[in-house]
Chain A
Amino acid sequence: GIQVEQSPPDLILQEGANSTLRCNFSDSVNNLQWFHQNPWGQLINLFYIPSGTKQNGRLSATTVATERYSLLYISSSQTTDSGVYFCAVDPTRFSGGYNKLIFGAGTRLAVHP
């Protein structure tokens, strides 16, 4: 099956710093999402980005589908950015009305004041 690798596994930042999180995947995908899981366990959808570039406030993401990787950029980090960032992909070739997300192991981010 498809392999999804995220790096770095852990990241510690001072408030105000910028960071880049990476997601590599071993096969072509039809769906790629970035999520933030806060310390209470809530998974928050950040981006749906199987290809191209998107921005939302201090966050932006780029997926280069032909080279099988995606990047999540966090600028001017805040303590509320702490948590785990997951990349998830759906490698299925056709849509049966649903998608089957395979998650990477995540990047655990701690932002200190």
Chain B
Amino acid sequence: DTEVTQTPKHLVMGMTNKKSLKCEQHMGHRAMYWYKQKAKKPPELMFVYSYEKLSINESVPSRFSPECPNSSLLNLHLHALQPEDSALYLCASSQDSARGESETQYFGPGTRLLVL
């Protein structure tokens, strides 16, 4: 099973709202990722968690706050977003070990976010 699930599928929020995106995997992967994808552009890395610790933050604004409560779950908390933050938010996971097939990243279906 190579499934990564994400909820919700769609989200509309105002600029003063607080919302959260959820990502879950049960493949025993120890690295989890958040990507942002604008229309007709490639995905761009936002955050990486490895063994439940934040390993990479690609200079993402503080209105995006990631959280990794356990090895299977990854959240992205959203607060005071701007209309330009509207995008597809993708979660991915990979195994932790040394170089090889275990590096393969598997993606969830994404959450389409619209900020009004």
Contacts and interface: CB of A to CB of B under 8 A. Distances in A.
A16 to B, nearest CB: 28
A100 B110 contact: no
Q: Count chain B CB atoms within 10 A of each CB in A33, A43, A98, A99 and give the residue with the most.
A: A98
A102 B45 CA distance: 8
Contact of A104 (B30, B42, B55, B109): B42
B43 A103 contact: yes
Given A97-B55, A97-B96, A98-B48, A42 B107 contact: yes
A45 B2 CA distance: 10
B64 to A, nearest CB: 18
Interface in A20-73: 30-31, 33, 35, 40-45, 48
A108 B82 CA distance: 29
A97 B109 contact: no
A48 B106 CA distance: 11
B2 to A, nearest CB: 8
Given A86-B42, A95-B98, A35 B107 contact: yes
A98 B31 contact: yes
Given A33-B105, A41-B112, A43-B107, A98 B43 contact: no
B8 to A, nearest CB: 14
Contacts of B103: 30-31, 48, 90, 95, 99
Interface of B: 2, 30-31, 33, 37, 41-45, 48, 50-51, 55-56, 88, 90, 92, 94, 96-99, 101, 103-107, 109-110, 112
Given A43-B90, A45-B104, 11 more contacts: A31-B103, A41-B37, A88-B42, A90-B103, A96-B50, A97-B55, A98-B50, A100-B56, A101-B105, A105-B41, A105-B42
